[in-house]
Amino acid sequence: LKYFRVMENTLAGKPVTISRTGYTGDLGYEIWMQVDDALAVWDALMEAGHDYGLVPCGILAMDMARVEAGLFMIDVDYTAANHAWIEGQKSSPLEMGLDWAVHLDKPGYFVGRRALEREQKEGSLWKLVGFEVDWEGMEPLFAQVGLPPTIPAMAVRGSLPVMHEGKQVGYASTSTWSPVLKKYIALVHLQRPYYEAGTRLTMEVTVEHKRLQAPGTVVKLPFYEPEWKKK
């Protein structure tokens, strides 16, 4: 089954729809079925995958994995247009890295086309990008109170200021320790020109109830995308 393709099949004698997609940065599949068939399909998967180390995981693990993949979440990393009360809460597809889904070269008109063409020409005022915090930069912050660097054990869905020379230029919407990359990473919204890859900024960290700034680097998304994901 090719990447982002769908097929009909059966599992445990139940009709299912299988898509070559997932909510992580790795090779993934999603299986859809009728509610009444879910338990039988689940049991069949667990039994067949036992010898391959197949184990279930929950939303806390998925939250970390989707950040590694650079996948944003509605009402966490962006606000839906119909729920945005002010202009600053709105996001365009170009800001969110969804320009691959907007074809400005096709004929005809669609709502927002002129605004997107103008943004493409002039550049986005904001962009969602990745941020890698320097572990070595956090060590002295924690050493001041006699502790090793400590970060939350699960993804944090909360706004953390991102600064440049004492001025706030954006914020992190989700941050997490990456078990795969062994790095402290975040999805960040940054103003122009600070969203360019390689830009050095700082992100807020909390050390014994004090809010300090840890250095890091802006990177392109996704953080993690192995070659076999789309093969």
Neighbouring CB atoms inside 10 A of 128's CB total 22
Q: What is the pLDDT of residue 115?
A: 95
Q: From CA 127, how far away is CA 161, in angstroms rounded?
A: 15
Own/partner pairs for 183-186, CB < 8 Å, 24+ apart?
183/132, 183/133, 183/135, 183/223, 184/132, 184/133, 184/135, 184/138, 184/151, 184/216, 185/67, 185/68, 185/130, 185/131, 185/132, 185/133, 185/223, 186/67, 186/130, 186/131, 186/133, 186/160
Q: What is the pLDDT of residue 118?
A: 97
Superfamily of 70-231 according to CATH: Probable tRNA modification gtpase trme; domain 1 (3.30.1360.120)
Q: What is the pLDDT of residue 39?
A: 98
Domain boundaries, the chain: 6-56, 70-231
Q: What is the pLDDT of residue 228?
A: 87
Please report how many Cα atoms fall inside a 13 Å half-sphere around the Cα of residue 69, on the Cβ side: 20
Q: What is the pLDDT of residue 231?
A: 84
pTM of the model: 0.92
Nearest to 14, CA basis, from 41, 39, 35, 32? 41
Q: What is the pLDDT of residue 31?
A: 97
Q: From CA 2, how far away is CA 8, in angstroms rounded?
A: 14
Q: What is the pLDDT of residue 41?
A: 98
Using 50 as the pLDDT threshold, list the residues of the chain that sit under it: none
Question: What token pair was written down for 157?
Answer: 């869905």
Q: What is the pLDDT of residue 68?
A: 97
Tell me if residue 33 falls in helix, strand or coil: coil
Sheet holding 6-11, edge to edge: 6-11, 14-19, 30-32
Q: What is the pLDDT of residue 166?
A: 95
